[in-house]
Amino acid sequence: MKKIYFVFFLLAGLVLIGAGCISFSGGDQSGTDGGVFKSVDKAENWLQKTAVAAVKPGSLANANVVSLVFDPSDSKTIYLATAENGLFYTTDSGESWFVAGSLSGGRINAVTPDAKDKCNVYAAAGNKIFKTSDCTRSWQNIYVDTRADQAVTALAADSYTPSIIYAGLSGGDMMKSTDSGASWTVVKRFENQIAKILVNFYDTRVLYVGTAGRGVWKSTDGGGTWTDLSEKLNQFDGARDFKNLIFDFSKRDNLILASRYGLIRTTDGGANWQAIQLLTPPGSVDIYSLASNPQNGNEIYYGTSSTLYKTVDGGARWVTKKLPTTRAATYLLVDPGNGSVVYMGTTRFQK
């Protein structure tokens, strides 16, 4: 993968000066086995990576993770969205984390970096979208939804034309900006919460949207028109109960869908789907996280409340590992430059 390095550590130092004391009073305090874990041997062993660098050092060990997102140009830089403690980033593969400027508290629903300028990052919190153009030193509010019951729940950036940004709302509105967030247009109303937006790397006009309860939709013209992929999904009981959707980057039109049914794969962009045989019966396990090795699509990982499942042959055989935490594995990420490195975000669910 092409590496692009900027004077990021200098900027990080400036963030440190303004960060002050780190407080996690809004997070879960019942245990310190949360935050982020990292494996360098394909999920065989894990180390907790939660150190926060600041004027007074802190820790993410109590944090509940919403998502982990690589910077497209540098896999050592990762953005961490949390459920109560705001946004963080690392520039050294998780060895130390920094507060992302003023987004230092509350829930971050989604984050997406610019594919070509690593100092441009977008983040969603509540009914607002924020943007930084100076590597998180400052943030500008570029969108506010005036409806009190709406939240921005998904973000995605076009890797070919980075001025194109997509946002999804809890009420189902799919929005598009063609001017880096300065203005927004609703391109589709799905009526159900938008849980995820994927932009195809090989052809960024191709979009996939995962919705809560209405399955997966596809556009081949940048959001102008949409096709409901549910007809073929309906043969799998519970497949419209969306959990996650990821690309298998080993081929152009391969995707893996996690749903209430289990795992389902398409090799033709959603026209047809095939079930991936799991160790557990369909519908019997809640899948909270899903990832595959960008260099080898046969290596797939998924996480539940207590167990990590792994296959190296596309699902023909699975091995299980007990999680290194009492929390659920709510996010998984495989380093695109080194498939041995896997990151796991964890969450303690309220009983």
Over residues 205-254, the pLDDT tens digits come to: 999 999 998 899 999 999 999 999 988 999 999 999 999 999 998 788 99
Q: Could you tell me if residue 2 is inside a domain?
A: no
pLDDT for the residue numbered 10: 33
| 307 occurs within a structural domain | yes
Q: How far is C-alpha 326 from the geometric centre of its chain's CA atoms?
A: 21
* Interval 27-35 mean pLDDT: 69
pTM of the full structure: 0.90
3-state secondary structure 80-106: EEECCECEEEECCCCCCEEECCCCCCE
The mean pLDDT of the chain is 91
Whether residue 2 is predicted with pLDDT greater than 50 in this model: the reply is no
Is the pLDDT assigned to residue 17 strictly greater than 60? no
In a domain, 343, yes or no: yes
Q: What residues does 124 pair with on adjacent strands?
A: 110, 129
24 part of a folded domain: yes
For residue 290, the Cα-to-chain-centroid distance in whole angstroms is 10
CA distance 150 to 173: 10
pLDDT in the model for residue 11: 35
Q: What are phi and psi of 223, to 5 degrees?
A: 100, 5
Six token digits for residue 216: 């997966």
Instruction: Indicate whether 183 belongs to any domain.
Output: yes
Residue 178 in this model has a pLDDT that exceeds 90: yes
Residue 55, pLDDT score: 64
- Pairing of β 342-347 and β 165-169: unpaired
- Residue 29, domain extent: 8-347
Domain count, the chain: 1
- CATH number, domain of 269, equals 2.130.10.10
> What is the per-residue pLDDT across 94-136, written as a single tens digit (0 to 9) for each?
999 999 999 999 999 999 999 999 999 999 999 999 999 999 9
Query: What's the confidence (pLDDT) of residue 23?
Result: 36
Contacts of 145 (CB under 8 A, 6+ apart): 127, 128, 151, 152, 169
pLDDT band at 351 (very low <50, low <70, confident <90, very high): low
pLDDT at 67: 98
Q: Residue 332: what pLDDT?
A: 98
Numbers of helices and strands, H then E, in the chain: 2, 30
C-alpha to C-alpha distance for 117 and 157, rounded to whole angstroms: 12
3 domain-assigned:
no
